Structure 1
Amino acid sequence: MFPSINSIKKPNKSFNLLHLETQEQYFLSLKVALIPSARSDEIRGKLHLCSRSLVFEPKSSQLPLMKMKYSNGLFMKVIKNFEPKSLGLLLSIRWGPQLMQEDIDQLDLASILNQQKGEQKSNELLDKLYNRNRKNTIQLSCNCFFIKVDKLFIVNRNPISPYITETCDDNILFTISKSNSKQILIRFLKLYQGINQAEDEFTFINQTIQQTLNDSLVEHKQNVGSEGHKIEFVHKVKLIKPEGSIFGLFSIQREEILQFIPLINSPSGKTLQFMFTDIKYFLKYRYMFKNNGIEFWMYNKKRSYLFVFDDQTTQESVFKYFQKKASKHCLSALTKEKIAEEWTNGNMSNFDYLMALNTLANRSFNDLSAYPVFPWVIAEYNEKDFNVNSPTFFRDLSKPMGALNKHRLQKYKAFYKDQLKDKKQDPKPYLYPTHYSSPGTVVYYMIRKIPEFVIKLQNGVFGPTDRIFRGIDSTWFTTLNLHADSKELIPEFYGLDSDFLVNCDKLELGITQDGEVIDDAVIPPWADNAPDFLAKMRIALESPYVQANLPLWIDLIFGNKASGNEAIQNDNLFYPYTYAENVNWDKCKTDIERQALEIQVTEFGQVPLQLFQSAHPQRKLKIQGNLKQSEDEKRELKQQNQNLQNKIQKLTQQIQESQDNDQVLQLQAQLGALQWENEKLKFNLETFKQEMLTNKEVIQTFNSQFDQEEFDKNGFDFLNDDSLLDSSKKPIS
């Protein structure tokens, strides 16, 4: 089933882009060994050169990463042909600024140490971090990096935790492995020198990236040509991933081999290669309000690949090439009108339809700045009753989140009127200071599953405890009442994977002001556990109330009330730069202006591509001929329900008695599946009860599409239904 709502994978424990700051780039790595002290064994690993820091990654994932920022007075010297006998002297000297300016190779270390008698130091911090008694000694002379820095940022990987900041007075020594090529070492040193001498970091980084891409472009063409292969085309490109963007080359060869060759910001350096026949679908993509991307879905991959080209001309050229090769697989032939018709006629679930609209509106799981958005539909998280038959149980879908609290809305409107009085108001007047979907919103909800994302966005910490996702009710309360909060939900709240609600890694998320330890997300009283909560959220999403009112929410997000005068009249106006029409990249005259605009667009939300110009049609209610069930059928359902209850009780007892962790995990998975089945039966029983009381035909509000096994077999896959590919209508591009 596409799209997968488990697209953001839990990152592995090796060094990756999440260990960098926002806007920081990774360049290349050297194999090195850290010498913590004269009496400690060497710690082998890699030294990663990044645009704002050096990061040491030990080979063992049990040991922490060590991040050294240039802004913290980092000073690095290369020592050539370092003699092992001088190790103790080098690490014991107190290196002041004046001494660091000297050529260390030419210094008489013994004499300097003798002059500092009584002031000798030891590497206490490094010894504490990497405490290993020396087993092997350095036998041969080697080249080294000698580093002094005021602060170290310690990145624990097992378990994951916020960075630990340590004041550093240690002498840091790395021996450089002879397995590094001379070319790599020279490039490492040149880049390090260039970064630290550049007057403008942003300009230098951009120039370095472009120079690397241009040189590699020429080299790639020469290499492929010399091997006897013909290139259809090769372009500079960015691969967009949730953790960051990777710069590289996008190449198609005559043999219909598609390659992405990573060059900048790819710690793994792994080349992606596919045959043309691996491609399932592709669609144009608007990235950062620029029409320059294409998203590809593969048959053998769960996640899509989002590539962004230099400009729209290149995008069009590449897109037309793929259109000629496989027109059937081109999603531009999939019209929003046909999708809307399928939903209106009752042939698509609400969940599938919302996923389809998000995809067509250029919302991708690869792009945190334009992540798929789903609505809050339930408004009651305190009561024990899960009553989808009561309208008061639901949120008003005709209003944006910011307008649900009328008292707060009045303050927003007063603020808006004050802006209108200022004739020179720049930017344009707006109601809400924050958007309903942004990278911060996504990682807020996903902190338990992908804490590294939060640590990156929060510059090394989880953030204040009052800003951590504690539970459903507290989040609903703050979203309704806080001035700068109007966030909607993400698709995961209506999926089957509850990992993002459970603190599986036992993260230390903090303690509230009331002394409460933040652990698993607190779920409402009407749900028994996290899987049960998601099951009921999905039931609510497909309920008659939401069926009838969902078009009103679609109008606000994807339709005629998303922008312009309709947005103003419906209290749906956000900060100007969240709208594509207000973002003009050509007006950026300097790199600093462009960087500021990039930060605004990527971090503070984007209004989706508008799909509908008029009010969305209502769903046609599918009335079944005779839904009145016999007493025998009702008794049969009750018996099934009782059998499930017995199985659930038995499994619960087995879990409590079992001492085997693996067995407990298996039993818990079985228990979750049974609870899901039980919820469906309870819902159907309630439906039959109402039918027999009213003796009327009613709408079937729940069916087997919520069973994952049946869903995979028979569920509506809007990307696999050829009847939707209507070439007679104008394509979406």
Structure 2
Amino acid sequence: MSFLENDTASKERFNLLLLDPGEIYFEDYSVFYYPSGLPEHEAIKSSFLTGNRGTFENMFQVSCFFVPKESQYPILKFPLRYVTEVDEWSGGLFSKIDHKDKMIKVACKQTVAMKEKNILSPYVFIKFPLRYVTEVDEWSGGLFSKIDHKDKMIKVACKQTVAMKEKNILSPYVFIKEPSEHIFSLNYVVVDDCLPQICQLHRASTLPHTEQNAMINAIVLSRRSRVKFNTSWLEDLYENIVLETQGDRITPLVTNPGRIMLTNKILYFQPFNNIESIPVIKIRLKDINRLIKRRFLLRQIGIEIFCKDGSPCTHLYLSLSSPELRNDLFFKMKEQSDLDLELPGQEDMTLRWQSGNISNYEYLMYLNSLADRSFSDLTQYPVMPWIISDYSSSHLDLNDSSVFRDLSKPIGALNEERIEKTRERYREMPEPKFLYGSHYSTPGYVLFYLARIAPEYVLCLQNGKFDQPDRMFNSLLDTWQNCLEGAADFKELIPEFYSPDHPDFLYNKGVTNFGIRQDGKPIGDVDLPPWACSPEDFKQSLRMALESDYVSSHLHHWIDLIFGYKQRGEEAEKADNVFYYMTYEGAVDLDSISDPNERARMEIQIMEFGQTPKQLFKTQHPQKFQQPCPQSIVQCTQEPKERNSPTPENSDDMLSTDTDEDQTHSTTTVFDMQELNNLELFHQYTLHKDSVTDLCLARDGRNIFSVSQDSFLKMYSLEEQRQLRSVNVSSMALSSCQLLPDNLTIVVGSWDNNVYFYSIEFGRILETLIAHDDAVSDVFWINKILFTSSWDSTVKMWSFTPPSPSNPFVPAQFVGQLDHESGVNCQCIDSNCQILVTGSKEGQIVIWDIRSMYQLTEHNLHSSKVNAVTLSHDNKRILSSGEDCYLKVLDIETGTEIFVKDLQDQIMCFMWCGDLLLTGSNSGELQVWDMDRGQVVVKKSLHLDAITCIDIGNNTIVTGGQDKVISLWKL
């Protein structure tokens, strides 16, 4: 239970949960308390001879508290609005005590103290060894007449007192609605040290609400301005102070103000009061592994800090007074050299979830965090879906789809009869309209589920009362039925139902008095469905249901409702998913509300009604893949120059137009991860005088063909390790090349706008195709169609069949043209020749239907030139890299960017190797990516400059670079 584990203050007998919401703790004083309604000698006896000795009086914004040291006595709360008098007491408390014939004097040279606090060490009871006693006699010196109680006594008269935690048992508060007087004697201070501020707060409580808030705010501001950070708490003399400001520590239902100090080594939080278990919270920057901006009360003012396991402080949630101050603290922390944040992996979590590398539970928790949901904020507690709809059967069959809830509908729309009545009311409602009068996640709903382990939070939220016993969380079946049929119950679940933690929240350990149900039974454990034999078994079944195939294939619908495009607007109306307008981010600007009453009303409503998560997706969320690819073995299949197209996983998927003879020319290389990591440089050579722009490895692995900005086509023999051909194809740079399946013809694109067909067999150019009005950027042949892209903003398609002994060379024939808004820099075609993907010089990715020559979609993925594009094996995702140093993955069906990685370095080229992706970087590094996890698994430094092209075949990886070098790597 995350917030209970981190909130150590709630474990103390007196804590901030006893305060009213929004109340601020000031300070405390050591006192003796003299109960009201007792004769004077009984009051003294009660104070000095019982547990009411040695107590504290705690001063707050709208209440005063008396906390006895002994736990058998209740904590007393005096709400200032019910206080009729607060003044100095000078009634001569001790003057009337008759002590005649009551007093004994013992004079002793040595005493022994024993069992102090009943601990076998120094003691409370005083022993007087008679051998050391010098006098024992009656005392008549008037013991109390010499006690100076002037300026030490305070009287509080109150019309209503609240008693809490008697015998330290958590039970509903007792409201004593009768006049009473309470007298306190101060131990270490005088009346003038505390009475003026109590009277000041008392006066504020008698004012109208607006004036009361203004006066209290002035008092709080004055007190805070006088408090400075105690620099003696700095741990290191060499720490440099980076920032100091005021802020609040946020824990569930509690806001505790203090001062924040950031140095180059440590973040400090010093509360304005002494209620925390330690006077200053210290977090070493080197212990922090996550730093997240948060929305608090619909304002971007929060920052949540998570630390590594084993750190002295593992978590801290702070809020500041404005977004500017929050951002200043956030960025100044990130600037410190000691801060070493773990890569959050947020940009690739959707991809990892789709591929099955993280569970549904982990992905939902990630989305909750991304949407500003936190265990430290009950108004934005993580929300999870009801999954199972059957809580009455004796057996739960997760292969039966009927046992699952419909994840495409919100809870309020699962019951057709109820939602129809709700729609009728919605149609007749004036603006702003809403379907549901309550939210699916509120502090009350969270504590409804957690009442058994967080009863004190329930009392805090519900003004010292528990709910009616029969309305508590007693049964899973009853709760589910009420969510389906109740007129105002639309709550979802919380992470505790699916987390691997022990299911304590389903047990009643009997330490709290929740009351008696109508059937005469006390509140016990939660009644489970018949198919669960224990709370542990129940949670295990729910976890299995959450990870089941049915839920995995439908979970994206629920994500659309809670975090996605069905959360707001027209799509939300269509999905019956409209809540009160104040629950949405951006609906209310609290900073613009000048009326204190209106602002307070808004804040209370925001806190109590619930908050919709931040909207994360504006388009349909992609579906999870049901059959993730195996990762242990990967196949690298060299097809006819499909450098930007994923390789089919077996030979049956090869081009339908290839002949059987052509099929036998393909070779397959099997790499496992270890082999890729152990690649060794086999050979390097330099033939070109300028950057290598593209290369092809012959299918038999004997020759390498390469083109360069030096305008030459080169043919290099790996067997003889020498150059066989050097052809000056054009007067300008050559951009690309592809070796056709006959191994006899190579197609070359040039900056002179032309495409050249070169015969390897005859050593001459067979045809010069005047293809474009600007440089040809890429050529690609598949299924007898040649695709040529150009900086003239077009892609052209040409019908071309490679020559053979039986079929002489036939020039390419124009088929069609695809127009773009800017120059086309790269292209990719799927293996079925149905989809064309192009990347432009201005950062656009365009998807085309090849058969109809119709543009399907366009996406502005990059801020500058797209260097390379490729498709995944299933043709559902597009990978792209750009000059902006981003690597991105786009889900084609939904148009969602499911992976975004800022690499700080450009990726210049792609090549699929089975399930792995090989990339060449601008720094000359060859990287192997496991794209199911979105991680680099192997790195090899090959070139002194950018790697511009890659090819694979015959247990060999070949790369060319801007350093004019061609490198060969073998197993």
Determine if contact 2:282/2:313 at 8 Å carries over to the other structure: no
Give the alignment of 1:476-495 within 5 angstroms: 476-495=480-499
**How big is the shift at 1:19?**
0.8
**How big is the shift at 1:51?**
2.0
Which entry has the higher C-alpha Rg, 1 or 2? Answer: 2
Out of 474, 477, 481, the position equivalent to 1:473 is 477
Deviations 1:200-221 (A, max 9, x none): 332223222222233325x768
Letter in 1 for 2:302: G
Deviations 1:237-270 (A, max 9, x none): 111101400111111135x222111116946572
- 2:162 is the alignment partner of 1:153: yes
**How big is the shift at 1:82?**
4.6
- When residues 605 and 189 of structure 1 are mapped into structure 2, their CA distance, relative to the original with a 3 A threshold, is closer
Determine if contact 1:258/1:276 at 8 Å carries over to the other structure: yes
- When residues 208 and 80 of structure 1 are mapped into structure 2, their CA distance, relative to the original with a 3 A threshold, is same
Determine if contact 1:4/1:302 at 8 Å carries over to the other structure: no
Determine if contact 2:81/2:202 at 8 Å carries over to the other structure: no
The whole-number CA distance in structure 1 between the counterparts of 2:199 and 2:177 is 28
Normalised to the residue count of structure 1, the TM-score between the two structures is 0.73
Equivalent in the alignment of 2:540: 535
Determine if contact 2:253/2:461 at 8 Å carries over to the other structure: no
Out of 140, 147, 150, the position equivalent to 1:140 is 147
**How big is the shift at 1:235?**
1.1
The whole-number CA distance in structure 2 between the counterparts of 1:534 and 1:232 is 47
What value does the CA root-mean-square deviation take over the aligned residues?
3.1
Equivalent in the alignment of 1:49: 59
Determine if contact 2:83/2:202 at 8 Å carries over to the other structure: no
Letter in 2 for 1:144: M
- When residues 187 and 349 of structure 1 are mapped into structure 2, their CA distance, relative to the original with a 3 A threshold, is farther
Out of 558, 562, 572, the position equivalent to 2:563 is 558
The whole-number CA distance in structure 1 between the counterparts of 2:578 and 2:84 is 46
Letter in 2 for 1:471: S
Give the alignment of 1:597-608 within 5 angstroms: 597-608=602-613
Equivalent in the alignment of 1:367: 377
Determine if contact 2:434/2:578 at 8 Å carries over to the other structure: yes
Identity %: 31
Out of 159, 165, 170, the position equivalent to 2:175 is 165
**How big is the shift at 1:71?**
2.5
- When residues 394 and 303 of structure 1 are mapped into structure 2, their CA distance, relative to the original with a 3 A threshold, is farther
- When residues 485 and 396 of structure 1 are mapped into structure 2, their CA distance, relative to the original with a 3 A threshold, is same
The whole-number CA distance in structure 2 between the counterparts of 1:318 and 1:470 is 45
**Farther off after superposition, 450-459 or 208-217:** 208-217
Equivalent in the alignment of 1:381: 391
Equivalent in the alignment of 2:321: 310
The whole-number CA distance in structure 2 between the counterparts of 1:349 and 1:183 is 62
- 2:283 is the alignment partner of 1:274: yes
Deviations 1:171-205 (A, max 9, x none): 3221111x247885366445445534544332223
- 2:726 is the alignment partner of 1:726: no
Equivalent in the alignment of 1:439: 443
The whole-number CA distance in structure 1 between the counterparts of 2:91 and 2:315 is 49
- When residues 187 and 278 of structure 1 are mapped into structure 2, their CA distance, relative to the original with a 3 A threshold, is farther
Equivalent in the alignment of 2:357: 347
Determine if contact 1:241/1:366 at 8 Å carries over to the other structure: yes
The whole-number CA distance in structure 1 between the counterparts of 2:581 and 2:425 is 15
Deviations 1:7-38 (A, max 9, x none): 56693242111111222222211111112343
Equivalent in the alignment of 1:33: 32
- 2:422 is the alignment partner of 1:407: no
- When residues 413 and 388 of structure 1 are mapped into structure 2, their CA distance, relative to the original with a 3 A threshold, is same
Q: Secondary structure at the match of 2:225?
A: helix
- When residues 253 and 55 of structure 1 are mapped into structure 2, their CA distance, relative to the original with a 3 A threshold, is same
- 2:223 is the alignment partner of 1:212: yes
- 2:601 is the alignment partner of 1:590: no
**How big is the shift at 1:140?**
2.1
**How big is the shift at 1:525?**
1.1
The whole-number CA distance in structure 2 between the counterparts of 1:20 and 1:474 is 33
Equivalent in the alignment of 2:935: none
**How big is the shift at 1:313?**
1.3
Deviations 1:390-428 (A, max 9, x none): 111111111110111111101111111001xx4xx3xx1
The whole-number CA distance in structure 1 between the counterparts of 2:249 and 2:465 is 27
Equivalent in the alignment of 2:508: 503
- 2:244 is the alignment partner of 1:237: no
- When residues 3 and 283 of structure 1 are mapped into structure 2, their CA distance, relative to the original with a 3 A threshold, is farther
The whole-number CA distance in structure 2 between the counterparts of 1:86 and 1:727 is 82
The whole-number CA distance in structure 1 between the counterparts of 2:263 and 2:629 is 55
Unpaired segments of 5 or more residues in structure 1? 89-136, 626-723
The whole-number CA distance in structure 2 between the counterparts of 1:328 and 1:562 is 36
Q: Secondary structure at the match of 1:580?
A: coil
The higher-RCO structure (CA 8 Å, 6+ apart) is 1
The whole-number CA distance in structure 2 between the counterparts of 1:141 and 1:374 is 63
**How big is the shift at 1:337?**
4.0
- When residues 87 and 483 of structure 1 are mapped into structure 2, their CA distance, relative to the original with a 3 A threshold, is farther
Q: Secondary structure at the match of 1:77?
A: strand
- When residues 171 and 212 of structure 1 are mapped into structure 2, their CA distance, relative to the original with a 3 A threshold, is closer
**Farther off after superposition, 301-310 or 544-553:** 301-310
Normalised to the residue count of structure 2, the TM-score between the two structures is 0.56
Letter in 1 for 2:29: L
Give the alignment of 1:644-683 within 5 angstroms: none
**How big is the shift at 1:281?**
1.3
The whole-number CA distance in structure 1 between the counterparts of 2:618 and 2:345 is 14
Equivalent in the alignment of 2:213: 202
Bigger share in strand: 2
Equivalent in the alignment of 2:710: none
Bigger share in helix: 1
The whole-number CA distance in structure 2 between the counterparts of 1:567 and 1:341 is 26
- When residues 351 and 260 of structure 1 are mapped into structure 2, their CA distance, relative to the original with a 3 A threshold, is same
The whole-number CA distance in structure 2 between the counterparts of 1:26 and 1:569 is 47
State how many pairs are aligned: 573
Determine if contact 2:285/2:339 at 8 Å carries over to the other structure: no
Determine if contact 1:237/1:250 at 8 Å carries over to the other structure: yes
